[in-house]
Amino acid sequence: MALTELDDGTVRSMAIGAVFSDFVGKINSLDFHRKDDLLVTASEDDSVRLYDIANARLLKTTFHKKHGADRICFTHHPSSVICSSRYNLDTTGESLRYLSMYDNRCLRYFKGHKERVVSLCMSPINDSFMSGSLDHSVRIWDLRVNACQGILRLRGRPTVAYDQQGLVFAVAMEGGAIKLFDSRSYDKGPFDTFLVGGDMAEVFDIKFSNDGKSMLLTTTNNNIYVLDAYGGEKQCGFSLEPSPNTTIEATFTPDGQYVVSGSGDGTLHAWNINKRTEVASWNSHIGVASCLKWAPRRVMFVAASTVLTFWIPNTSKSTGESVGEARHLDLAGSFLHNALSISFTLLAASCNVMNQKPILFKSIYLCNETGLISSLELKNIAFMSIVLYDKFIVFMCIVLSTIFLLLFSLAF
């Protein structure tokens, strides 16, 4: 489904549309291509998998037994990715690889990090990309050359992200500090620094909204914060159930109006940022979702643990409700038809007993014209005329028929 303006109802209707369960182990990371309907995943079974999200189809799987597959992101080319290594970092130093999914080749190795890469992002405007590692460094690279282009030495576990215009990048470090750099002159140091008030947990993930006005932070203790990207003020925050030994991920919707996140109890949640209210909560059906991203060009998000799920709007829900309403109206119409038929039958039979022929004929004429009485019911009039010989019974039938007619008029 192509991206349109989102509202609470659309977000609330999201449901699983496709499931891929052939992974052996946890999915470590995933990424959408910015312009094409493609998704790439990296998982513990050393596989990198490419998906067509428009048709929910696996396009290609490659295995990387020597280096493994940890963090992953697309380059600007739809069949090329950058993937971080899990194995042999101390011997080969090949911490990052530039891979071609088209012919399963490694186009370039990037050496430098001594420990595992925990954050990876591609510049939206050029061939630069950044990596943050447990060796307490952030390195800036260029796809066209092997050598590292710049190094930032930091404390703690670094997390990096470019804004959507590629002009600014953010680096989170120990103590919840966020530093903003000009990507054209990062060597001059950060132009702004701010703290997430009161929360000293390490920031696991940073995302900028598409308009660049907000930042989304996810901490290692499962707190989520939406910050003003210019001044660092906290716009809203949400606390989720803890997930020992598993980090969760949160995502903006493309319009920047909603945040969707996993939780330690195996649920997914969505919030309206402007209203600061939760609009939806779902059972993920896959346990704790450690990876979660919204597609940049579609009304769709993906959630993953050891299973990959595609979430799309569930239009059958509203259709089912419409069908239910139609059935309700059919039942109501059937009840009114039967009530009117009984009413006219009782009235006509009573008039026949009391020799009120003009009223009888007029009643039958109206019933036939409106289709409220059948030939079978005309026979009922004759039968009722025989049965209704007592004036008290006749009186009661007139009263009942009047009540039925009154109910009909009130209903409309």
Q: Is residue 273 part of a domain?
A: yes
| Contact of 351 with 360, CB cutoff 8 Å | yes
Residues 166 and 266 in one domain: yes
Residues 187 and 129 in one domain: yes
Residue 2: what residue type?
A: A
Name the region of 58 (left: φ>0; alpha: ψ -120 to 50; beta: rest): beta
Nearest partner of 65 among 96, 36, 86, 41, judged by Cα: 86
CATH of residue 217's domain is 2.130.10.10
Q: Is residue 247 part of a domain?
A: yes
Instruction: Give residue for tokens 């959630």.
Output: 303
**Structural tokens at position 57:** 């189809």
Residues 260 and 389 in one domain: no
| Contact of 305 with 288, CB cutoff 8 Å | yes
Report d(CA 31, CA 52) in Å as an integer: 12
Residue 76 has a CB neighbour count (10 Å cut-off) of: 15
Nearest partner of 175 among 194, 192, 161, judged by Cα: 194
Number of domains present in the structure of the chain: 2
137-142 sheet: strands from edge to edge: 117-122, 128-133, 137-142, 150-153
Q: Is residue 192 part of a domain?
A: yes
State the sign of the Cα–Cα–Cα–Cα dihedral 382, 388, 389, 391. negative
Please, where are the H alpha helices in 202-267? none
Burial of 74 (0-12, 13-18, 19+ CB in 10 A): buried
Q: Is residue 207 part of a domain?
A: yes
Residues 403 and 281 in one domain: no
Residues 119 and 18 in one domain: yes
What is this structure's pTM? 0.75
Residue 15 has a CB neighbour count (10 Å cut-off) of: 14
Residues 179 and 280 in one domain: yes
Residues 120 and 190 in one domain: yes
Last residue of a domain, one of 252, 285, 313: 313
Instruction: Give residue for tokens 């203790």.
Output: 221
Tally: H helices and E strands in the chain: 6, 28
Bridge partners of 142, per DSSP, are 128
Q: Is residue 321 part of a domain?
A: no
Residues 138 and 280 in one domain: yes
**Structural tokens at position 56:** 């929910």
Report d(CA 233, CA 354) in Å as an integer: 86
| Contact of 251 with 259, CB cutoff 8 Å | yes
Residues 68 and 213 in one domain: yes
Residues 130 and 195 in one domain: yes
Q: Is residue 24 part of a domain?
A: yes
Last residue of a domain, one of 313, 348, 379: 313
Last residue of a domain, one of 255, 287, 313: 313
Domain carrying residue 403: 363-408
Q: Is residue 232 part of a domain?
A: yes
Report d(CA 186, CA 138) in Å as an integer: 12
Q: How many CA atoms lie within 13 A of 74 on its CB side?
A: 20
Per-residue pLDDT of the chain (412 residues), as tens digits, is 556 678 999 999 999 999 999 999 999 999 999 999 999 999 999 999 999 999 999 999 999 999 999 999 999 999 999 999 999 887 778 899 999 999 999 999 999 999 999 999 999 999 999 999 999 999 999 999 999 999 999 888 899 999 999 999 999 987 778 999 999 999 899 999 988 766 778 888 999 999 999 999 998 888 999 999 988 888 999 989 988 888 899 999 999 999 999 999 999 999 999 999 999 999 999 999 999 999 999 999 999 999 999 999 997 754 334 334 333 434 444 444 455 555 555 555 555 555 544 444 444 444 444 444 444 444 444 444 444 445 555 556 566 666 765 665 555 4
Residues 376 and 308 in one domain: no
| Contact of 181 with 171, CB cutoff 8 Å | yes
| Contact of 249 with 291, CB cutoff 8 Å | yes
Q: Is residue 340 part of a domain?
A: no
Report d(CA 348, CA 373) in Å as an integer: 11
Residues 57 and 180 in one domain: yes
